[in-house]
Amino acid sequence: MVRQMKINGKRLLDNLYALREFTDTPGKGVTRFSYGEQDVNARRYILDIAERLGCSISIDALQNIRLGFKGNVPGRKTIAAGSHIDTVRNGGWLDGIYGVCGALEVMETLTENLADYDYNYEVVIFAEEEGSGFGSTMTGSKFISGIYDESDLDKLKNDEGKTLREVLAPLQTRCCCDVRENPYRQVQPKEAGVSTQCGESSVDISRVMWDFDTVKTMLELHIEQGPVLDEAGLSIGIVDNIFGMRVIEVKLDGVGNHAGATPMSQRHDALCTAAECILKAEEIVRADEDKRTVVTTGKIEAAPNCSNVIPETVTFTLEVRDRDEAKINKAMDEITGSIRDIADRRRVSCTIEEHSKSSPLPLNRRLIDSMAARAEGQGLPYKVMDSGAVHDACMIAAHVDTGMIFVPSIEGRSHVPQENTAEEHLLTGAQFLMDTVLSELASGK
């Protein structure tokens, strides 16, 4: 019989409230981009806890972090739990960080109640999950799972035109300098010997891919970010499928001209063209029979962006998501065809680039069934459900048993400052993660 352990709810909430302060937009939600100053502050806070708990700390070239429980035994497979700490711009205080704090609370509770288990336990913090910096979601975990390789370090660029490699290079260190000095350190396994070179310029991703034979289970605790649990008055969501997504970037080149002197009949307005394309995409997806496909243009830039100049160029993103890959591709093909037709008719030139994609993924049936049985046994109102949001769990699920636990988002809001979850639900979700980790840790016999 697995011993039960109670998490320390106040400690969990205190960590969440403390980490919420690490934002570039105080008062307007949480903005904490990977590799930025607030990311450094959040990492320092978390690594201080890890050091206090006697965890092993391993940080890879992408700055994904793995924290090992002090009771771990070398060579045993690991039960991993975690999420991400980066956010969208003016995002919420819980997306990602809640799963990291939940996994950390499990770590602290295990450390306070030392016992022997069949498996090891690790907290994982995935880097650049939101893609706010480089436009591609789940970047850190795509390198961990081998979907991204060396060439992507030079392909992925931020808004300043800097490549991922250029941003990462100064963060590479091989010295075991104190975590307070440099939270972006790479702590080499002791046996590897440690050079004292700080701030090396080469980004060596050879050790980023996980050896998935050493990982038994991956668990991610996360807010739902949609309305389902809140509307149904449920406490726990058990995820069975994570949506896939495809992201394209569209560039329209029209003819800039004077806003007053140019007759409407002589215009090739890139912004009006973009507007028609975006509304056409919405019309195509709204016509979808099962109403699960979603399409979003979240980012758009018009140039020269002056009120009295007809826009010459417009660049916008467009993403389509669904739980069925064929439907994603069907919608995206129809949308890109329409974009080309609209641009042709308006005599605006158009280029469309595939930006990033991830396939829909079923999560592990054994974990879904065992978590559903646990919720039943605890009398928790729950639902097995899909996730319209993508998560690092997608990248890991292709390799090891992976499960996701949701808690309700008030009014289904997320990726906005209004993102919130009732404290009782935050605590229920973290305790459910604790119970699930304990069950996995003792599942070897």
Nearer to Mn ion, 96 or 237 (CB): 96
Rounded to whole angstroms, how far apart are CA atoms 142 and 54? 29
From ligand HGY, Mn ion, none, interface partner of 136 (C-beta below 5 to 8 A by class): none
From Mn ion, ligand HGY, none, interface partner of 100 (C-beta below 5 to 8 A by class): none
Is residue 85 within 8 Å of residue 67, measured between CB atoms?
no
From Mn ion, ligand HGY, none, interface partner of 137 (C-beta below 5 to 8 A by class): ligand HGY
φ, ψ of residue 357 in degrees (nearest 5):
-160, 160
Query: Least distance to Mn ion from the beta carbon of 129, Å?
Result: 6
From Mn ion, ligand HGY, none, interface partner of 390 (C-beta below 5 to 8 A by class): ligand HGY
Query: Least distance to ligand HGY from the beta carbon of 181, Å?
Result: 31
Query: Least distance to ligand HGY from the beta carbon of 249, Å?
Result: 16
Query: Least distance to Mn ion from the beta carbon of 351, Å?
Result: 28
Q: How far is CA 441 from CA 35, 101, 121, 218, 429, in A?
A: 33, 19, 8, 12, 18
Is residue 191 within 8 Å of residue 53, measured between CB atoms?
no
Query: Least distance to ligand HGY from the beta carbon of 200, Å?
Result: 30
User: Of 183, 64, 68, nearest to 129 (Cα)?
Assistant: 64
Could you identify the residue written with the tokens 């940080």?
59
Query: Least distance to ligand HGY from the beta carbon of 132, Å?
Result: 9
User: Of 93, 92, 130, 98, nearest to 12 (Cα)?
Assistant: 98
Query: Least distance to ligand HGY from the beta carbon of 293, Å?
Result: 15
Pure H helices in 234-324: 270-286
Query: Least distance to Mn ion from the beta carbon of 242, Å?
Result: 11
Ramachandran bin of 150, using left for φ above 0, alpha for ψ from -120 to 50, beta for the remaining angles: alpha
Nearer to ligand HGY, 137 or 336 (CB): 137
| 315's tokens | 């660049």
From Mn ion, ligand HGY, none, interface partner of 322 (C-beta below 5 to 8 A by class): none
Nearer to ligand HGY, 122 or 128 (CB): 128
Rounded to whole angstroms, how far apart are CA atoms 174 and 197? 6
Is residue 318 within 8 Å of residue 296, measured between CB atoms?
yes
Query: Least distance to ligand HGY from the beta carbon of 397, Å?
Result: 15
Rounded to whole angstroms, how far apart are CA atoms 150 and 315? 27
Cβ count near 68 (within 10 Å): 19
Residue type, 335: I
Nearer to Mn ion, 97 or 343 (CB): 97
Nearer to ligand HGY, 389 or 437 (CB): 389
φ, ψ of residue 58 in degrees (nearest 5):
-130, 125
Nearer to Mn ion, 96 or 403 (CB): 96
Query: Least distance to Mn ion from the beta carbon of 387, Å?
Result: 10
Nearer to Mn ion, 96 or 226 (CB): 96
The one-character DSSP state at 156 is: -
| 404's tokens | 């996701």
Nearer to Mn ion, 348 or 405 (CB): 405
User: Of 179, 7, 214, 240, nearest to 103 (Cα)?
Assistant: 7
| Residue number closest to ligand HGY, CB atom | 389
From ligand HGY, Mn ion, none, interface partner of 253 (C-beta below 5 to 8 A by class): none
Nearer to ligand HGY, 110 or 385 (CB): 385
* Binding site residues, ligand HGY, CB under 6 A: 129-130, 137, 389-390
Nearer to ligand HGY, 137 or 315 (CB): 137
Cβ count near 359 (within 10 Å): 14
| Cβ-based neighbours of 251, under 8 Å, separated by 6 or more | 313, 314, 315, 350, 351, 352, 353
From Mn ion, ligand HGY, none, interface partner of 23 (C-beta below 5 to 8 A by class): none
* Binding site residues, Mn ion, CB under 5 A: 95-96
From ligand HGY, Mn ion, none, interface partner of 226 (C-beta below 5 to 8 A by class): none
From Mn ion, ligand HGY, none, interface partner of 240 (C-beta below 5 to 8 A by class): none
Rounded to whole angstroms, how far apart are CA atoms 437 and 217? 9
Cβ count near 258 (within 10 Å): 9
